[in-house]
Structure 1
């Protein structure tokens, strides 16, 4: 678990190339009620931080659910073998996420489309909070937006299944959420520059390749004998 948290943080950091497309619009919407000169003011940063805190809280709630479910699955069968199987699934999802980020395979887009069924019911709640005029509004908007269908988030949620429990699942998703924070904060302050940089094919391929490396490392750390013997 000690090594999982830094790894989850780095995966979130690398996933900034995906966050731009998924969350860039809402980050911009946070400043709709602010004069142009306020873009570097304490109020601006207060809204940004409140929004992202709400988003990370939603990630942690989802991580608690996934970690608890993973623990129940592990208790229902051979403990070590079940955790190993969940870790294999998490590693494979991480590799698929790397392929998706790099633009080599778009299969996870189908997973995001499947998640949009639930999102259609949640999204109107966020729309009622616009335009954002206070950190409290921004926080609740972030909590709503945390449930946006996202292949990157889903991949780390699968990882949370193998985390070993409710607390570990929440911490894993929290570390991932903190990793996405620098990109989204910079996106709010310098959306034009960040957008141009992160849309470059080379930036996406490097990030995707590094996420794939994390997935491979996760698989290489597993012990095949546990999968066989349980």
Structure 2
């Protein structure tokens, strides 16, 4: 199956443009984990391993939901078209969240603090995070802490109904958040502010919105001789 570059690009842009959300919801966690890993003196290597673990956690979550979605598609292959349209709708929802400067969708921005507390005993077993393995483990737990934006992207990954596509989509999202979250983990300074500018967020939201609309329309646009080569190159199916 070809790589779905359209959805992959939308996930990467969502991570970049959603940096404001990531800083607001996870900034304290990023700074705190960086300090734990550095035992009060967070270093770049520790911050990189923690964020690498977080992105790996996203990827493993993508593998899990992709497996479930693939199993559903194997049982009911006729759902393929519906899942593709639903994937486009999920991307549109992500775009609306990115464009929600007035926080009218604030109810969807909850951070899943209950699960983070439920994982507390496992977090404590990884402390002190004075080895690379423990730092990666802490990062993976951080990646499994749900928030509104990552949960929306995970839902889109499930709708891919393919293990590889779902994992790549979540990895792309994680890489998109890296420019903002890595400096927070390293120094606690908001050096990722460049990627959190409202203009970038709005531009990213528009691009994701267009990706979502094109994804929903792709099954019908594939019948157009003029658009078939372009959509095939983007991995739309």
Could you tell me the TM-score, scaled by structure 1's length?
0.76
Cα distance change of structure 1 residues 105 and 98 upon mapping to structure 2, 3 Å threshold: farther
Deviations 1:49-84 (A, max 9, x none): 11112111211121111111111221222x2x4122
Contact kept? 2:31, 2:187, Cα under 8 Å = no
Alignment of 1:24-43 (within 5 A): 24-32=27-35
- Counterpart in the other structure of 2:107: 109
Contact kept? 1:30, 1:47, Cα under 8 Å = no
- Counterpart in the other structure of 1:216: 213
- Counterpart in the other structure of 1:146: 143
Structure 1 alignment gaps of length 5 or more: none
Task: State the distance in 2 between where 1:110 and 1:224 align.
Answer: 32
Cα distance change of structure 1 residues 187 and 222 upon mapping to structure 2, 3 Å threshold: farther
Task: State the distance in 2 between where 1:127 and 1:224 align.
Answer: 52
- Counterpart in the other structure of 2:18: 15
Q: Post-superposition shift, 1:128?
A: 5.6
Q: Post-superposition shift, 1:124?
A: 4.5
- RMSD (CA atoms): 3.2
- Counterpart in the other structure of 2:62: 63
- Correspondence for 2:123 among 111, 114, 126: 126
Q: Post-superposition shift, 1:19?
A: 1.3
- Correspondence for 2:152 among 149, 152, 155: 155
- Counterpart in the other structure of 2:89: 92
Structure 2 alignment gaps of length 5 or more: 224-237
Q: Post-superposition shift, 1:204?
A: 4.0
Contact kept? 2:85, 2:217, Cα under 8 Å = no
Could you tell me the TM-score, scaled by structure 2's length?
0.74
